[in-house]
Amino acid sequence: MNHLIQDFISKFNEHYRHMNKYLLLFTSLFLFSSVRSQDNNLLGSKYSLEQLKAIIIPQNEWIPFPHISDREGWNRADKSAMKLLVKKASAYINYNWPSIPATTSLLIERTGERAAYEKISFEKRHVLGTLLLAEIYENKGRFLDPIINGIWSICEESFWGASAHLPRTPENAGLMDVSKPFVDLFSAETATYLAWIDYFLGKQLDKVSPQIRRRISYEVTNRIFTPLMTVPHGWMKANANGRPPNNWNPWICSNWLNTALLLEKDETKRVNMVYKILQVLDQFLNPYPEDGGCDEGPGYWGAAAASLYDNIALLNLASHNAFQYMFADEKVKNMARYIYRAQISKDYFIDFADADPKPKMAAGMIYRFGKDIGDTSMMQFGAFYRDDQSKEWSSFHFFRIFFEVFMRGELREAKQSLPLPADVWLPGIQVMIARDKEKTYKGFFLAAKGGNNDESHNHNDVGSYIVYYDGLPVIIDVGRGTYTKKTFSDKRYDIWYNCSDYHNLPTINGHTQPPGFKYRASDVSYQKGPKSSSISMNIATAYPAKAGIQQWQRTIRLNRTKNVEIINKIFMPKEGRFTEHMMTCYPVSKKKDGEVVIHYKTETGGDKNIVVRYDPALMQVDIEKLSLTAMENKGVLDKWGDTIHRINFSGKTTGRSTIKFIVEVD
């Protein structure tokens, strides 16, 4: 009997251990998925529709910026900035407004290219905006006719968006079905341009012909307002796999909000649109991590968290600051701070996924965002990127320039500094950042990530890392190249720089990381201290079962003022092969067994060697320079030059083993 009882207890304990393991896994997945499905409705639940009707300033009373007739008001605009715009606009008086040929739109299907279409479309809007700003400031009618030509040309376009955003259906096949309008990023941007023209120049346009404003109203209603209020758009909420909305959501909403507030004369329809915008924005904000981490990276932050800020700023203008409460919310504050937390050095930022290594900073918007959340560091960070000499302004987020020209003087006088925090941990997206010393980019910088392979603008990169020295790249994430038809199709992972074997990751028994939410880091932990900071995770769960790996516990550590370590503790039941990859933008040579040298260039152009130490008894080294000739590679060439090298450390292992790399100055 005792034997039976002991056997029962033993089996029960074994069963409990297995159940506990699955319970922990379930709990982990539940907690991770709950990040995707939080439901706070910070914007949409504050005011009822009836309350909103009382809060939103009526369209005929709303004066977000001085009317063109208010010359005293426009005298407060920054004169140097406005004079530069007038000078630029003078060259566009005889601008020949081009059409977009059908065959240019068809390129997206015929060759996969989207750039030719976008070049024409974006330039037209940039020219139109420049002419508008110049006419507002000069107020002599000198730019009115070219503006009218621009309005008419754009209104006659079949599609205001990008050819790459057309539905991938046989009935479209690269051309717009004008009977089925829908709203993409650039359709919404276009509506904003026309709405501000109507606001500032409406009376002048009516003197020429009432048909101009009627055409604006007709086209915007048909192409923007009606589809947005009647047709579900994918960017409004999470997709079928549960992935939360990305930058499309707040970016489009900011332009939709601009246009609705400025153009819609029916107050019921106007407020109904504002109310719906609040609900849509909540779909973006609810699942956003509390730490403010942007899985799209700093290059997209300017259209993600920053576009959320644009919406709040506009809502405050239209409601006597009824949405000021948003700036006291800790999540919103963290969303703002992400941009300076993700900085590497003056020019460089972390570039996981499709982010750019050197994104342009919108100084005025960042400064205003910092001011509204009461963050002095962010204000000084924004002021650091002011550029009083620039004759250009971004073609996107057009309305930001109206804020900026009225606060350029304040921005010019503001203190400048870069926060450059020593340590950052963003558990929501599982990204760590560490540098040798706070407030300086001298020495080593390390960033590493866990996460999953269904992130927005995803690369299969769970467990990857980047290393910089003195603010310049050493071991890199290539980031994105040129967007083509392939980029956002089922062939996305045919593009090399989206795949794990072209990140700083292993290929295991010939297998790379697949896309999908289930391929993710597990057992993630983070540690920081005065001497070192590190992230540890099991990346075996980011590989398919047929890779034959049970554990690949990776620890990536910055040992301050010394080196960076990458330590892999592996359990492979059967003998298998692996290749650890490292990407760099410098030439590489093998110094001797156990040492590979990256020939790094200093900030002043001098030579310095960064050495990667490894165990030659476990691995052999192969160095390859990548050929960058495909269409998608133009963006890589623009960012890094024709210098991308991949270092491959190959070996075999069985059972338990440890593979270690040390990156240090030679």
Query: Picking from 14-23, 55-64, 341-350, which range would have the lowest pLDDT averaged per residue?
Result: 14-23
C-alpha of 55 from chain center: 32
Residue 177: how many CA atoms within 13 Å on its side-chain side?
A: 11
Instruction: Give backbone dihedrals phi and psi of 52, rounded to 5 degrees, phi first.
Output: -65, -35
* Stronger pLDDT, 522 or 607, i.e. the higher one: 522
SS3 45: coil
Pairing of strands 423-426, 431-435: antiparallel
Report yes or no: 567 and 660 within 8 Å, Cβ to Cβ.
yes
Of 614, 609, 606, 590, which is closest to residue 598 (Cα–Cα)? Answer: 609
Q: Read off the pLDDT of residues 67-124 as tens digits, 9 standing for 90 and up.
A: 999 999 999 999 999 999 999 999 999 999 999 999 999 999 999 999 999 999 999 9
Given this model, what pLDDT does residue 601 score?
Answer: 87
Average pLDDT over the chain reads 93
Long-range CB contact pairs, 69-72, < 8 A, 24+: 71/139
* Stronger pLDDT, 232 or 1, i.e. the higher one: 232
Helix 376-384 × helix 330-341 angle, to 10°: 40
Distance from C-alpha of 487 to C-alpha of 635, rounded to nearest angstrom: 12
Instruction: Give backbone dihedrals phi and psi of 111, rounded to 5 degrees, phi first.
Output: -125, -10
Statement: residue 12 has pLDDT above 80: no
Distance from C-alpha of 372 to C-alpha of 370, rounded to nearest angstrom: 5
Model confidence band, residue 13 (pLDDT cutoffs 50, 70, 90):
very low
Tokens of 258: 């601009």
Partners of 469 in the beta sheet?
A: 444, 472
Distance from C-alpha of 311 to C-alpha of 103, rounded to nearest angstrom: 36
Q: Read off the pLDDT of residues 568-612 as tens digits, 9 standing for 90 and up.
A: 999 999 999 999 999 999 999 998 999 999 999 888 888 889 999
SS3 59: helix
Instruction: Give backbone dihedrals phi and psi of 298, rounded to 5 degrees, phi first.
Output: -60, -30
Given this model, what pLDDT does residue 495 score?
Answer: 96
Contacts of 155 (CB under 8 A, 6+ apart): 194, 215, 216, 219
Given this model, what pLDDT does residue 387 score?
Answer: 87
SS3 168: coil
Of 462, 477, 459, 476, which is closest to residue 430 (Cα–Cα)? Answer: 462
Given this model, what pLDDT does residue 389 score?
Answer: 65
Q: Read off the pLDDT of residues 409-446 as tens digits, 9 standing for 90 and up.
A: 999 999 999 999 999 999 999 999 999 999 999 999 99
Report yes or no: 109 and 173 within 8 Å, Cβ to Cβ.
yes
Tokens of 81: 């900035």
Distance from C-alpha of 535 to C-alpha of 427, rounded to nearest angstrom: 11
Contacts of 345 (CB under 8 A, 6+ apart): 441, 445, 468, 470, 471, 472
Given this model, what pLDDT does residue 106 score?
Answer: 96
Partners of 623 in the beta sheet?
A: 647
> Can you give the pTM of this predicted structure?
0.92
Given this model, what pLDDT does residue 560 score?
Answer: 97
Contacts of 408 (CB under 8 A, 6+ apart): 78, 80, 81, 364, 388
Tokens of 640: 């890094």
Q: Read off the pLDDT of residues 318-331 as tens digits, 9 standing for 90 and up.
A: 999 999 999 999 99
Distance from C-alpha of 205 to C-alpha of 203, rounded to nearest angstrom: 5
Model confidence band, residue 359 (pLDDT cutoffs 50, 70, 90):
very high
Distance from C-alpha of 313 to C-alpha of 369, rounded to nearest angstrom: 9
DSSP state of 244: P
DSSP state of 343: B
Q: Read off the pLDDT of residues 168-200 as tens digits, 9 standing for 90 and up.
A: 888 889 999 999 999 999 999 999 999 999 999
Neighbours of 601 (CB within 10 A): 15
Model confidence band, residue 5 (pLDDT cutoffs 50, 70, 90):
very low
Given this model, what pLDDT does residue 358 score?
Answer: 96
Given this model, what pLDDT does residue 34 score?
Answer: 41
Give all strands (DSSP E) within 408-481, no chain letters: 423-426, 431-435, 444-449, 452-453, 465-469, 472-475
Statement: residue 562 has pLDDT above 90: yes
CA-based diameter of the chain, in Å? 104
Mean pLDDT for 511-521 is 97
Q: Read off the pLDDT of residues 529-561 as tens digits, 9 standing for 90 and up.
A: 999 999 999 999 999 999 999 999 999 999 999
Instruction: Calculate the alpha carbon distances from 465 to 247, 311, 352, 480, 556 in Å.
Output: 24, 34, 9, 16, 8
Given this model, what pLDDT does residue 390 score?
Answer: 63
Mean pLDDT for 238-256 is 95
Partners of 652 in the beta sheet?
A: 577
Mean pLDDT for 43-69 is 97
Model confidence band, residue 281 (pLDDT cutoffs 50, 70, 90):
very high
Q: Read off the pLDDT of residues 364-412 as tens digits, 9 standing for 90 and up.
A: 999 999 999 999 999 999 999 998 766 567 889 999 999 999 999 999 9
Given this model, what pLDDT does residue 15 score?
Answer: 45
Distance from C-alpha of 397 to C-alpha of 383, rounded to nearest angstrom: 19
Mean pLDDT for 202-230 is 98
Contacts of 534 (CB under 8 A, 6+ apart): 432, 526, 527, 528, 555, 556, 557, 558
Of 576, 664, 558, which is closest to residue 614 (Cα–Cα)? Answer: 664
Given this model, what pLDDT does residue 394 score?
Answer: 80
Model confidence band, residue 18 (pLDDT cutoffs 50, 70, 90):
very low
Distance from C-alpha of 502 to C-alpha of 477, rounded to nearest angstrom: 8
Given this model, what pLDDT does residue 241 score?
Answer: 86
Partners of 645 in the beta sheet?
A: 584, 625
Q: Read off the pLDDT of residues 440-490 as tens digits, 9 standing for 90 and up.
A: 999 999 999 999 999 999 999 999 999 999 999 999 999 999 999 999 999
Contacts of 601 (CB under 8 A, 6+ apart): 472, 586, 607, 608
